[in-house]
A and B are shown apart, each in its own frame.
Chain A
Amino acid sequence: MSTVTETGRRFRPASARGFRKPDQNRRPVWEEKPSWYGQFGKGSVITVVMLLILVPVWGVVLTSFSDKGSINSAGGGLVLIPHGLSLQNYQLIFSGGTVSRALFVTVLITVVGTAISMVVSVLCAYGLSRSSSFAQRPVLMTLVVTMFFNGGIIPTFLVVNDLKLYGSLWALILPSAVNVFNILVLRAFFTGTASELIEAARLDGASEWRVLWSVVVPTSRAVIAVITMFYAVAYWGTFFNAILYESENATNNPLAVVIYDYTLLGTTMPGMGTTGVGGLAQASQTGLSMATVTLSLIPIVVLTPFVQRHFAKGMLTGAVKG
């Protein structure tokens, strides 16, 4: 019975088609057909949940593409039904003011930070992947302890200050470069899925570096993609560290801090009047800040679907074995 359900629709013999309708062919035979109101209830709950997520994103993105007139007619708030589209908001924020600078800073720390974090984490995860190796357990414990206890904000701030990182972009990268949970996920994957391949490669005389680069990295692409995304998202959303370490150096503010300033604190965007594209008169603060928010949403919305199918795999190797 189960063989029939597992066979693809296209390959089923014509005779089998008579027994059940095609849209039923994935439902196990023993399961009763759901009632129409059950189906309807389930469908509407899921639709509502998805709308609760999609409508805000839609509102933000649409407002960022709207001209001042349509934002004003929406009472100065979000535009939910499109009319009067324009790219003006983007022209303004890209014309080299605070937002352009913040975008540059954010991209820089995301790219450099993610690269550093990944190199450090993959190396460490591989270094810890053999349970019989020298000092493996003490090193692992050293890392794990930090998941449960840390010095707190103030002592960390003082250390960063003493290391002369205060006010430098490195302060946004180095203190958060290592995430122990991510290392544990990678390690669990290396010890589990890749372990036999690793042993085979070592028997063939490959050095550890060679094994890591030619065997481990290619076979663990899925989990590496997931962890890269985790790190990148964390750097992309950097907020508190910037508040803590860059407060005297506004040119180092990342996007999140700029968004906080302009949308939540309501500071007027500087440079709005000085730009040549039309200045203050044509722009709306809401439009500009929503354009900034959209900039910060785009990479996430574009990239998530590509990595999405690996999430479960990446998370679960960590959750189950970590």
Chain B
Amino acid sequence: MAAITTQEAEASTQRRRLGVGRAKAKGPKQQRLNWRIRLRRDKTLLLMCLPALILIVLFNYLPMAGIIIAFENYDIYQGLIHSQFVGLANFQEALTDPGFWQAFQNTLVIAAVQLVLYFPIPIVLALLVNTILSPRIKSFIQAIVFLPHFFSYVLVITMFQEFLGGAGVLNVFLNKHGISSWNIMTDPGTFKYLVTAQAVWKEAGWGLIVFLAALAAIDNSLYEAAAVDGAGRWRRMRHITLPGLRGIVVLMLVLRLGNALSVGFEQMLIQRQAVGASAADVLDTYSYIYSGLGGGFGGTTSIGGSYSYGAAVGVFKGVLSLVLILSANKIAHMFGEDGLYRR
């Protein structure tokens, strides 16, 4: 009985959210209990949510209130309330700083390079791995390609450094054969490809999971029917496999576009000294360095760096990201796909 009512409720919320079939809802209308009764009934459940809520409020919502400092000339001794209010001065300062525009441009360029060079790789790999028949070999391959996802960027960059850096395997080899060395790790010109290569090395294998699952969900009888009708390997791929992947590809694109402004913060920060700020600064690192906190990464406090200034750049990026996510989601809806919030 209880099971049925829960499912019923689940189904009705589902319907309400989708905005369809409201008229067709069958059965007696579920009676909504008095909130006091529901509170007493569910107080244990609420209690269980409490620890997570406290942590979220402390470390996510309090900082949101702290955004005020972006509009202030924040002084740590005067505090949030008594610091001088300066309106949009911090934003104005950022928008007239060439360093800020360089960081903005880098963010967009790196995001674009990653989108073009990174995005197709997991899909192609998934198509390849999917054709392997033996489940043992398949899971062995997956065990290996998943690994780098769990390495932190410090480890990933260390490995790149040991292979491609000044004293790395590649340059030792080049020198041995009398070819002048090329230190890829400190070359600002190719930096955007370097960080993309690192991202591919770390995450492309992990990206397989989603696409493999989508491939497994395609009805096998479609392939069988097509094969019986004389469709070859490539035509089956074009007319069955690729349309079957469409939904998940759009979802992944939306996620990627939404996160476009957050290209590898740690990754850039770690390599900032090696390649220089003009190549490695993205919005996130710029905000951090010019808050005066990031002294260890070749940052400077002399160019008007302050908590308020850093926070202002952070707010700028946050708002822009939100706009990006929402519009990417809109595009997904236009394509007739679910996009992000179906939850």
* Stretch with Cβ within 8 A of B (4 or more), from A11-19, A22-30, A85-93, A275-283: A22-30
B49 beta carbon closer than 8 Å to chain A: yes
Q: How close is A168's CB to chain B, nearest CB, in angstroms?
A: 14
Q: Are B141 and A123 in contact (CB under 8 A)?
A: no
Q: Are A178 and B52 in contact (CB under 8 A)?
A: yes
Majority DSSP secondary structure for residues of A touching B: helix
Interface size class of B (residues with CB under 8 A): 35 or more
By beta carbon, the residue of chain B nearest A160 is B59
Q: Are B287 and A78 in contact (CB under 8 A)?
A: no
Q: Are A133 and B158 in contact (CB under 8 A)?
A: no
Q: How close is B299's CB to chain A, nearest CB, in angstroms?
A: 11
Q: How close is B187's CB to chain A, nearest CB, in angstroms?
A: 16
A-B CB contacts (within 8 Å), total count: 309
Using Cβ atoms and an 8 Å threshold, which residues of chain A touch B228?
30
Q: How close is B326's CB to chain A, nearest CB, in angstroms?
A: 9
Q: Are A50 and B266 in contact (CB under 8 A)?
A: no
Supposing A28-B220, A126-B45, A159-B62 touch, asked if A56 and B159 sit within 8 A by C-beta, the answer is yes
Interchain CA distance A196-B307 in the complex, whole Å: 52
Interface size class of A (residues with CB under 8 A): 35 or more
Q: Are B49 and A154 in contact (CB under 8 A)?
A: no
Interchain CA distance A312-B163 in the complex, whole Å: 32
Q: How close is A125's CB to chain B, nearest CB, in angstroms?
A: 9
Q: Mark A156-180, 1 if CB is under 8 A from B, else 0.
A: 1111100100000000001101101
Given contacts A50-B141, A152-B67, 17 further A-B contacts (CB under 8 A): A32-B232, A34-B131, A50-B145, A78-B169, A121-B52, A133-B45, A136-B42, A139-B49, A150-B318, A151-B65, A152-B317, A155-B62, A155-B64, A155-B311, A178-B56, A260-B154, A286-B162
Interface of B with A (CB < 8 Å)? 2-3, 5-7, 9-10, 13, 35, 38-39, 41-49, 51-53, 55-56, 58-67, 69, 76, 125, 128-129, 131-134, 139, 141-148, 150-155, 157-159, 161-163, 167-169, 171-172, 175-176, 201, 205, 209-210, 212-213, 220, 223-224, 227-228, 232-233, 265-266, 269-270, 273-274, 284, 287-288, 291, 293, 296, 307, 310-311, 314-315, 317-318, 321-322, 325, 343
Closest 4 CB pairs of A and B: A151-B63, A237-B152, A152-B314, A155-B66
23 A-B interface contacts by CB (under 8 A): A26-B133, A42-B131, A49-B125, A53-B147, A54-B144, A59-B169, A120-B55, A131-B9, A132-B10, A139-B53, A143-B52, A150-B60, A150-B318, A152-B67, A152-B315, A153-B314, A174-B55, A174-B58, A263-B162, A264-B161, A264-B274, A300-B151, A322-B343
